[in-house]
């Protein structure tokens, strides 16, 4: 399963948002996939798009009781198996999934989330109750200007936005640890429901950049 590209080396000695010799190191295919979203090219629910209730479900923010469906190459649309989310993996991209309509909420870029797993003992007191056996989820949209938070700094265990270098700590409620982001990355509380990951509550804060970059 493809995951977010590690950017540790690219950002270690570089100005925020840049690799040693140019733009941030992100897998081209991943950046292209996300840019495809900018053009509102969705990948799920094609057959139902003429159906207005289904269209509304696609655009709706994550709801308690939703499941999570993968947005990873080769796995798109498959429900995420909690057992497949390992502690040493970079974040996975996922959409909330409406179990009643059986449709991913892929109608808005604001719905895309990052899913990752940590040792529950390393999570902050605020974050621990939002985690499902150590699995946490955050919006993939930076709170600064709305870019994709595409990079994972594996050694530091931080999320990194390549646009202006904001970094977020997913073990501490998405707290900003570097850069211009004005607030923490909103978390999506999770719980386990049998063999599924389920959304336990709405995002902890509104999703999106304070000064949207236009896509």
Q: Looking at beta carbons, which pairs linking 172-176 to residues 24 or more positions away fall under 8 Å? A: 172/123, 172/124, 172/126, 172/127, 173/124, 173/126, 173/127, 173/130, 173/204, 174/138, 176/143
Among positive and negative, which fits the CA dihedral 48, 53, 55, 61?
negative
- To ligand FES, the closest distance from the beta carbon of 177 in angstroms equals 12
Q: Is 174 in the site for ligand FES (CB under 6 A)?
A: no
**In this complex, which beta carbon is closest to ligand FES, that of residue 134 or of residue 165?**
165
Q: Are 213 and 145 in contact (CB under 8 A)?
A: yes
- Name, in order, each residue with C-beta under 8 angstroms of 4's C-beta and a sequence gap of 6 or more: 27, 30, 90, 91, 92, 93, 114, 150, 151, 152
Question: Which of these ranges, 40-48, 123-131, 137-145, 184-192, lies near ligand FES under the rule CB under 6 A?
Answer: 137-145
Distance CA 37, CA 41 (A): 5
> Mask: binding to ligand FES, 191-210, rule CB under 6 A, as x and -?
------------------x-
Q: Is 114 in the site for ligand FES (CB under 6 A)?
A: no
Of the residues 60, 164, 172, 196, which one makes contact with ligand FES according to CB under 6 A = 164
Question: Which of these ranges, 26-34, 85-93, 103-111, 156-164, lies near ligand FES under the rule CB under 6 A?
Answer: 156-164
Beta bridge mates, 162: none
Residue whose structure tokens are 């870029």 = 109
* Binding residues for ligand FES, total number by CB under 6 A: 13
**In this complex, which beta carbon is closest to ligand FES, that of residue 61 or of residue 180?**
180
Of the residues 93, 104, 181, 199, which one makes contact with ligand FES according to CB under 6 A = 181
Of the residues 14, 104, 161, 184, which one makes contact with ligand FES according to CB under 6 A = 161
Binding site for ligand FES (CB under 6 A): 142, 144-145, 147, 161, 163-166, 179-181, 209
């Amino acid at each position: 399963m493809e995951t977010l590209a590690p950017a540790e080396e690219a950002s270690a000695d570089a100005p925020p948002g840049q690799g040693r010799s140019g733009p941030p190191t992100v897998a081209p295919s991943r950046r292209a996939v996300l840019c495809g979203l900018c053009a509102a090219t969705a990948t799920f629910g094609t057959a139902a798009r003429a159906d207005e209730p289904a269209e509304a479900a696609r655009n709706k923010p994550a709801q308690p009781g939703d499941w999570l469906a993968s947005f990873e190459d080769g796995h798109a649309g498959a429900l995420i198996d909690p057992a497949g989310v390992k502690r040493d993996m970079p974040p996975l991209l996922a959409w909330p999934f409406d179990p009643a309509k059986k449709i991913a909420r892929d109608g808005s870029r604001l719905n895309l989330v990052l899913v990752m797993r940590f040792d529950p003992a390393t999570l902050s007191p605020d974050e621990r109750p939002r985690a499902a056996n150590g699995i946490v989820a955050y919006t993939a949209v930076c709170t600064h200007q709305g870019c994709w938070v595409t990079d994972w700094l594996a050694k530091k265990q931080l999320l990194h936005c390549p646009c202006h270098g904001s970094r977020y700590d997913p073990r501490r409620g998405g707290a900003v640890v570097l850069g211009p982001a004005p607030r923490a990355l909103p978390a999506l509380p999770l719980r386990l429901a049998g063999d599924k990951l389920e959304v336990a509550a709405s995002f902890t804060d509104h999703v999106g950049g304070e000064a949207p970059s236009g896509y």
